[in-house]
Amino acid sequence: MGVNDFDGVGRASSVGLADGESVPRPIPRIRRTGIVLRPNNQRVVIRPFEPANNQRVERILARVLALSEAEVERLLERVMDEFRDRHQKIRTFFMSRFERVKPHLLTDHRLSDNRKTLIGSYFTQEYSLESAALFNPSMVWHPDQSGLPEGSKRFLVSLRATGEGHVSSITFRSGVVDQACRIDMDEPTRFVTAPEPIPNTRYETPLFQRKLVEIGIDGPFVGLVLGTLGDQFTLDELESVVHRISHQNRPRQREHESVMQGMLTLAKANYEIAYSPEQSISERVIFPSSPTEAGGIEDARFVQFHEQDDSVLYMATYTAFDGKVILPQMLETSDFLQFKIGTLNGPEVRNKGFALFPRRVRGLYAMLSRQDNENIFLMYSDNLHFWYTKEMVARPTQPWEFVQLGNCGSPIETDQGWLVLTHGVGPMRKYAMGAFLLDLDEPSRVIGRLATPLLEPDALEREGYVPNVVYSCGAVVHQGQLIIPYAMSDYASTFAVVALDEVLSAMERE
């Protein structure tokens, strides 16, 4: 069979011989599955509507309060008829929105539940979270593998969903891959629901103080606040103590303003959320919740992490964007029901493309990174939250990666080494996917590398929001096959399958 018979890139790699001749290396045969996960603008989530200022809130309240009870009932019935089938527990959400604007009421007159619910609806809006794109997927094995035929495995795919205002969030799909590596996707439900913040999340004071120091927030005011809080505290307790101490030091209040805001922003960027068990995985969405995420949550790279005590935790590094600054952050979960979100700190936490190894290496956490937006680095740390050093692993080498080289998710452990899928950017800012192999014991050493792309956008994949791009945030191996979920030109997502041994055999060895 010739290379043109393969559903691959149609070129041959070669290895030099002693006499200067070369023989072609086998090209990995990529099988495109034809499965396409497209954005669906009918999947909407209810979100708070926040008017521009308090005066506008008060005017809206005044208008609703001026309605008769009969008018309230008619209006509420119309709202419920129009929206109750589009969302779960919508009345509960309306009541929670009423509670948020309740302090702006001018009197303590008792209001009917219908009027409270109607008021809440005026401060609520729908958001089509994936109306623009559904891309940059990351694939991991589902924590529940019960009830499956032999040789089959259930998986989860996280995706970057982009909607109005180009704000991105994390959404999920699930499916099963059988013994022959045939993929069957679960149909997503109609509903999408944002998580509930876990109340009274507790912060460890020493860890919080260390993070403050890393971002340059320190001094007497910080010492006063943390000394008052004790070993642990909640966000409410922090806000109360910060404002109280600031009020007590009113002559220096303006001087403390930036420190106060920095402390509160850091706390809000480290939070926990939860979903109800009855919610399907496709109904769960991680929407921007903190000030650091105001502009979106991008490109989550999930990995099933195995600790030294054999416990398993799912982790993901992602890019938080506040509208001006990008900041790598991390989330953790054991069941995809409860998530812990936290900041990463240290001088080497910058730029994008952080990807955690699936286990410790020589007793340390290890992570790939791309601080300079061009090369791939390796980092080690004894603490997941703090990263101080890096070393170069790979530079753009082939013409199709001269502009930029980055990872396409966490390294995959194989018998021959750590397999790293990469993206390279070449002429016309075209993205292609490649791969290299790192030594298992010394991951700073590249021991093999593809000279030609593993996957390039074909004629059906090159058109989209950003043309000529294929991109992945994490693949898996099943039955000796590498399953690669990937985005097509920043618009939709699909899957490709290739034999792992073909990928490894095609590499030029160092």
Query: Residue 90: which H helix or E strand, with range?
Result: helix 90-101
DSSP bridge pairs for 314: 304, 333
pLDDT by 10s per residue, the chain, length 510? 333 333 334 444 444 444 444 556 788 999 999 999 999 999 999 999 999 899 999 999 999 999 999 999 999 999 999 999 999 899 999 999 999 999 999 999 999 999 999 999 999 999 999 999 999 999 999 999 999 999 999 999 999 999 988 999 999 999 999 999 999 999 999 899 888 888 888 999 999 999 999 999 999 999 999 999 989 999 999 999 999 998 887 767 677 888 999 999 999 999 999 999 999 999 999 999 898 999 999 999 999 999 999 999 999 999 999 888 888 999 999 999 999 999 999 999 988 899 999 999 999 999 999 999 999 999 999 999 999 999 999 999 999 999 999 999 999 999 999 999 999 999 999 999 999 999 999 999 999 999 999 999 999 999 999 999 999 999 999 999 999 999 999 999 999 999 999 999 999 998
Based on the fold, state whether residues 236 and 359 are members of the same structural domain.
no
Based on the fold, state whether residues 457 and 483 are members of the same structural domain.
yes
362: left (phi > 0), else alpha (psi -120 to 50), else beta?
Answer: left
Distance in Å from the first CA to the final CA of the chain: 28
Based on the fold, state whether residues 118 and 187 are members of the same structural domain.
no
Closest CA to 371 of 405, 418, 342, 320: 405
Domain boundary among 128, 145, 178: 128
As a whole number of angstroms, the distance between CA 433 and CA 255 comes to 50
Spatial contact of 130 and 42, defined as CB atoms under 8 Å apart: no
Based on the fold, state whether residues 158 and 305 are members of the same structural domain.
yes
Based on the fold, state whether residues 239 and 368 are members of the same structural domain.
no
Based on the fold, state whether residues 457 and 381 are members of the same structural domain.
yes
* Residue 382: CATH number of its domain: 2.115.10.20
DSSP bridge pairs for 31: 497
Closest CA to 459 of 467, 449, 451: 467
Domain boundary among 105, 128, 151: 128
Based on the fold, state whether residues 80 and 147 are members of the same structural domain.
no
- Residues contacting residue 437 through CB under 8 Å, at least 6 positions apart: 414, 416, 417, 418, 419, 420, 446, 447, 448, 449, 504, 507
Domain span holding position 437: 3-41+129-195+275-509
Please calculate the CA angle 326-45-141 and round it to the nearest 5 degrees: 70
3-state class (DSSP) for residue 74: helix
pLDDT at 23: 53
pLDDT at 256: 84
Rounded (10°) angle between helices 113-122 and 90-101: 80
The count of domains in the chain is: 3
Domain boundary among 246, 268, 290: 268
As a whole number of angstroms, the distance between CA 436 and CA 417 comes to 10
- Give the CA dihedral 138, 140, 142, 145, nearest 10 degrees: 140
Based on the fold, state whether residues 435 and 470 are members of the same structural domain.
yes
Q: Which residues of 475-491 are buried (b: 16+ CB within 10 A; e: fewer)?
A: bbebbebbbbbbbbbbb
Based on the fold, state whether residues 363 and 499 are members of the same structural domain.
yes
Spatial contact of 453 and 473, defined as CB atoms under 8 Å apart: no
Would you tell me how many other CB atoms lie within 10 Å of the CB of residue 295?
Answer: 18
State the DSSP code for 9.
Answer: -
Query: Residue 289: which H helix or E strand, with range?
Result: none
Based on the fold, state whether residues 257 and 367 are members of the same structural domain.
no
As a whole number of angstroms, the distance between CA 449 and CA 456 comes to 16
Based on the fold, state whether residues 225 and 183 are members of the same structural domain.
no
Based on the fold, state whether residues 400 and 490 are members of the same structural domain.
yes
DSSP bridge pairs for 196: 274
